[in-house]
Amino acid sequence: MAERPTVWLNCAASLDGKLASPDGEPMVLSDDADWHRVHRLRSETDAILVGVGTILKDNPSLTVKDAFAPASPTRKLLRVVLDAKGRTPQKARVVDGYAPTLIVTAPGVTKEWAKAERAEVAVDAQGHLDLEAMLVLLRRRGVRRLLVEGGAGVLRSFLDSGFVDRWTCYVAPVLVGGNGPSLFDGRPSSIGRRLHVENVQAAGKGVLWTFRP
Ligand SMILES: NC(=O)c1ccc[n+]([C@@H]2O[C@H](COP(=O)([O-])OP(=O)(O)OC[C@H]3O[C@@H](n4cnc5c(N)ncnc54)[C@H](OP(=O)(O)O)[C@@H]3O)[C@@H](O)[C@H]2O)c1
Per DSSP, 123 falls in state: B
- Computed from CA positions of residues 22, 164, 119, 61, in that sequence, does the dihedral angle turn out positive or negative? positive
Instruction: Report the number of distinct structural domains present in the chain.
Output: 1
Predicted pLDDT of residue 68:
67
Predicted pLDDT of residue 74:
54
CA 70 to ligand 1 centroid distance, Å: 29
Predicted pLDDT of residue 105:
98
Per DSSP, 13 falls in state: E
Predicted pLDDT of residue 194:
86
- C-alpha 148: how far from its chain's center? 3
User: Is 24 part of a structural domain of the chain?
Assistant: yes
CB count in 10 Å sphere of residue 3: 9
Predicted pLDDT of residue 70:
60
Structural domain including 202 reads 6-212
Ligand 1 atom with least separation from CA of 124: 31
Residue 107 is part of a domain; what is its CATH number? Answer: 3.40.430.10
Low-confidence ranges of the chain (pLDDT < 70): 68-75
Pocket of ligand 1 (CB under 6 A): 11-12, 19-20, 24, 26, 29, 50-54, 57-58, 82-85, 87, 127-129, 131, 149-154, 157, 181
CA 15 to ligand 1 centroid distance, Å: 20
CA 147 to ligand 1 centroid distance, Å: 14
Predicted pLDDT of residue 106:
98
pTM, full prediction: 0.96
| C-alpha span between 33 and 28 (Å, rounded) | 13
User: Is 1 part of a structural domain of the chain?
Assistant: no
User: Is 182 part of a structural domain of the chain?
Assistant: yes
